[in-house]
């Protein structure tokens, strides 16, 4: 066969080509249906109703930072157990915000924000950065107790490590040390 020509040998080659063609042709349709999370600007009109709903939660009272006004988010718009839409917002912190539909709009039902610290620690998964995670939900999304702040820590800081019921009061000084 001349150099540079593509050859499919045998039925499996054609089958693989057919599967690849099918996947590539269906990908835009699947993404458009909300099955695959879609990355978009935070000021995209599809995000505005979600941010409006999120603004009704007093995040600073529970230790959460303000949602960035610029940048990108990833939107899950296909309903799943516990929520109908979810925003993933990455920046200085990493956060997920869950929503349920109400009429033609959305209702905020939960938020989780992860703050990464400066120190590393050894884990069964390798060397990781310490982190504090805050979660507050009014509907079951992640399994944390409802209607209260849930703070968790992963790392080796003796002030927080191996403490199962951390409070916002426990983690706030550490978050301030980390620059949050």
pLDDT tens for 31-51 read 444 458 999 999 999 999 999
User: Domain residues of the chain, as ranges?
Assistant: 37-177
pTM over 0.75: yes
Write the pLDDT tens digit of every residue in 114-151.
999 999 999 999 999 999 999 999 999 999 999 999 99
Residue 129: Cβ within 10 Å count? 12
pLDDT at residue 140, rounded to an integer: 95
Phi, psi (deg, nearest 5) at residue 116:
-95, 130
User: Among 77, 70, 72, which Cα is nearest to 39's?
Assistant: 72
Output 104 or 108, whichever has higher pLDDT.
108
């Amino acid at each position: 066969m001349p150099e540079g020509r593509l050859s499919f040998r045998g039925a499996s080659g054609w089958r693989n080509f057919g599967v690849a063609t099918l996947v590539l042709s269906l990908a835009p349709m699947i993404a458009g249906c909300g099955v695959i999370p879609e990355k978009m600007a935070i000021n995209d009109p599809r995000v505005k109703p979600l941010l409006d709903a999120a603004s009704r939660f007093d995040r600073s009272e529970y230790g959460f930072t303000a949602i960035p006004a610029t940048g990108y988010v990833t939107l899950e718009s296909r309903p799943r157990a516990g929520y109908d839409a979810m925003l993933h917002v990455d920046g200085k912190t990493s956060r997920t915000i869950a929503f349920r539909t109400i009429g033609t709009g959305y209702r905020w039902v939960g938020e989780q924000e992860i703050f990464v610290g400066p120190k590393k620690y050894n884990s069964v998964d390798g060397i990781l950065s310490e982190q504090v995670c805050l979660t507050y939900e009014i509907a079951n999304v992640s399994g944390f107790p409802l209607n209260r702040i849930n703070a968790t820590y992963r790392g080796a800081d003796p002030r927080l490590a191996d403490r199962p019921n951390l409070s916002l009061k426990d983690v706030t000084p550490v978050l301030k040390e980390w620059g949050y």
